[in-house]
Chain A
Amino acid sequence: MSYLEARTRFNQVFDLAFIWLFARLRVFVNQVGEITGFASKSIRLIFRQPLRIQELISHMEFVGNQSVTIICLSAVFTGMALAFQLFLGFKQLNASGMVGSIVALAIFRELGPVLTGLIVAARAGGAMAARLGTMRVTEQIDALEVMGVDPLQYLVSPRILASVLVMPLLCGVFDFISMIGSWMICIHLLEMDEAQYWERINVWIKPSDIFQGLFKAALFGLFFSIICTHRGYNTKGGAAGVGSSTNRGVVLSMVMIIIIDFFATNIIKIFLDWKEVLLR
C-alpha cells in the first residue's frame, strides 16, 4: 500500500469515526433536551389544579411503605458488614475504637443515600417504567388524553413528587437500621466499649453529615423517577417495548445515581466550606 493510499484510508476512517461520534453526540443532546422538557413540564404540573393528592398518597405508599422491608434488610447487613470489615482493618492500626464513627460517617454521607437510591430505583423505578409502558402500549394514556385529562399531571407528576418526598425518609430508615447493625457487631460480637462507641460517633458526626445524605437521597429520587417515568411514558412497541423501557430506565437511573452522587458530594462540600467562611 502506497503512502497516498494509506493516508486516504486513514482520512476515511477518521471521517467515519468523527461522523459516528457527532451522530451519537446529537442523539445524546436530543435526549437530554427531551428529558429536561419532560421533567420541567411534569414538575410545573405538580402545582396546577386539580392537585392530585390521592394519587400522591398512593404513590408515596408504593415507593415508600412497600420499600421499607427491603431497605431494612439491606441496611442491617450493610451496617454489620461494614463494621466488621473496618474492625479488621483498624485493629491492625490499633484504632478499633474508631469503627463506630467511621461506619456512621460512611453510612450517613455516602452509603445510606446511594444504596437507598439504587434499591428504590430498581424496585419502584422499574415498576414505574413498566406500569407507564404498559399503559402506553394498551392505549390507556391515549384514553386519558381523549378524556381531557393531562396524562403527565395524572401519571407522572405525583410519581416524581412522591419519590422526592419519600426518598429522604427511606434514607433515614436505612441510616438508622444500618447503625443498629453496626452496633450489634461492635458491641455484642466484637465486645467493644459501648460508651466509647457512642461517644466517638457523637464527636465525629455533625447534623450536616446526616442532612447532606438526606438531601442527596431526595435528589436521587428526583432523577430516578424522571428517568423511569420518561422511559415508560415514551414506550413504543408491545410487550418487548415495555421490557426494554423498564430495563433502560433502571440501568440509566442506577448509573445516573452514581454519577450525580460524585457531583452532589463536591457541590455540597463547596457549599459547606462557603457557609463556614461566611459564618466566621
Chain B
Amino acid sequence: MNEIAIDVSDVRKTFDGKDFVLNGMSLQIPKGEITVIIGFSGTGKSVLLKHILGLLKPTSGSIKVFGQEITTMTADQLTKFRQRYGMLFQYAALFDDMTALENVLFPLREHRRELPRSQMVEIAMRRLHDAGLDEKHYGKIPSEMSGGMRKRVGLARALALDPEILIYDEPTTGLDPVLTEMVDNLIASTHNLKKGTTSIVVSHDLYAAFRIADNVAMLDAGKLLLFGTPEDFLHSDIELVKRFVAKGVHRKIESQAHEKIEVSRE
C-alpha cells in the first residue's frame, strides 16, 4: 500500500450525546489513489467526509491528514489547511451569480492574489478545458447549464488550486446512466491527469466504485465494514457486502442494456 494520506483513527461522533453517528471509525486512505467510500444511507458517509474536511470535530478520536492532526487545529488554521482540498459537491454548489469562468476564477482570486489576472484566467480556462467543458459555455451562469455541464464546472473549480486531495460527494446521485458514466469517466480521467492526487469518492454506487476505484471502503453503522480492492468485495462473504455487490451487478446489467440500445440506434 502507498503512503497514507488520511488516517482516521477510532473516531466517534454524537450530536445528541446518545446516538453515535460514527462509532469507532478507523480508516486509512492511501495517497495518490482513488478510494470510493460506499454504504447505505445513514451509515455516516457524509459525516465522515465533514470530519475529513474539518467541518465537524469528532467527539473522540484522531484524524491526521498528511501527518497533521486536524481535530486540534484552530478555525484559522483549518481555513488555511483546506486550500489543500478540492471538492465536487453533489449538485456542484456553483455560485449562481457567477459565470462558469468566474466560478473557477474564484478560488484563484482568493488564494493566488499574487498572480496577474491574465494568468488566473489562463489557469481557469485550462481547468475548464481539462474538465471537458466547451469554450462556448464559459460565459454561462449555472441556471443556463445542464447538470453535466455544472458537474464539469464544479470539477474545474475543485481543481483550480491543484489540490492534493480531491473529494467527490455523491457525484452521480440523481443522474441518468449516460451522465453517470460520463461523471465516472471524468473522475478517472482527472485522476490520471493529476498524478499523485488522492481522490475520495463518496457514493451509493458500487458499479461506479468497481469501475474507477483502486480501493473501496464500505461503512455500516458508523464503522468500517470492509476496506479492500474491488476484487476483495466481489469475493467477500459478508452478507451486507454481498447485497451491495448484487445491486452493483444489477446496475451493470442495466447499463449494458442501455449501451446495446444506443448501439442499435446508431
Contact = CB atoms under 8 A, between A and B. Distances in A.
Physical interaction between A and B: yes
Interface string B89-115: 111011110000000001100110100
Contact of B53 (A50, A140, A146): A146
B82 A139 contact: no
B83 interface: yes
Given A142-B55, A143-B87, A148 B93 contact: no
Interface of B: 53, 55, 79-83, 85, 87, 89-91, 93-96, 106-107, 110-111, 113
Nearest to B167: A146
13 contacts: A139-B89, A139-B90, A142-B89, A143-B94, A145-B55, A145-B79, A145-B82, A146-B53, A148-B79, A148-B80, A149-B79, A149-B107, A150-B79
A146 B53 CA distance: 7
Nearest to B53: A146
Nearest to B97: A131
A150 to B, nearest CB: 6
A85 interface: no
Given A148-B110, A149-B110, A143 B93 contact: yes
B95 A140 contact: yes
B143 to A, nearest CB: 11
A238 B111 CA distance: 31
Contacts of B89: 139, 142-143
A138 B89 CA distance: 10
Given A148-B83, A150-B79, A142 B93 contact: yes
A50 B95 contact: no
A148 B163 CA distance: 12
B45 to A, nearest CB: 15
Interface string A131-145: 000100011101101
B90 A148 contact: no
A149 B53 CA distance: 13
Given A140-B93, A145-B82, A147-B107, 12 more contacts: A138-B93, A139-B91, A139-B93, A142-B89, A142-B93, A143-B87, A147-B82, A147-B110, A147-B111, A148-B83, A148-B107, A150-B79
A142 B92 CA distance: 11
A148 B95 contact: no
B87 A146 contact: yes
A147 B95 CA distance: 12
A142 B49 CA distance: 12
Nearest to A149: B110
B66 to A, nearest CB: 15
B79 A140 contact: no
Nearest to B113: A50
B85 A146 contact: yes
B251 to A, nearest CB: 26
A28 to B, nearest CB: 22
Contacts of B111: 147-148
Nearest to B75: A150
A146 B82 contact: yes
A146 B86 CA distance: 7
- Give 10 closest A-B pairs by Cβ, nearest first: A139-B93, A143-B93, A148-B82, A148-B83, A146-B87, A147-B107, A139-B89, A148-B79, A149-B110, A140-B93
A140 B110 contact: no
A138 B90 CA distance: 10
A138 B91 contact: yes
A139 B46 CA distance: 13
Given A145-B82, A146-B82, A148-B79, A140 B96 contact: yes
Nearest to A142: B93
Contacts of A150: 79
A134 B90 CA distance: 16
Contacts of A147: 82-83, 106-107, 110-111
Contacts of B83: 147-148
Contacts of B94: 140, 143
A150 B96 CA distance: 18
A156 to B, nearest CB: 15
A6 to B, nearest CB: 40
From A138, A146, A150, residue with most partner B Cβ within 10 Å = A146
From A145, A147, A149, residue with most partner B Cβ within 10 Å = A147
B98 to A, nearest CB: 10
A134 B95 CA distance: 11
A17 B90 CA distance: 46
Nearest to B111: A148
A145 B90 CA distance: 16
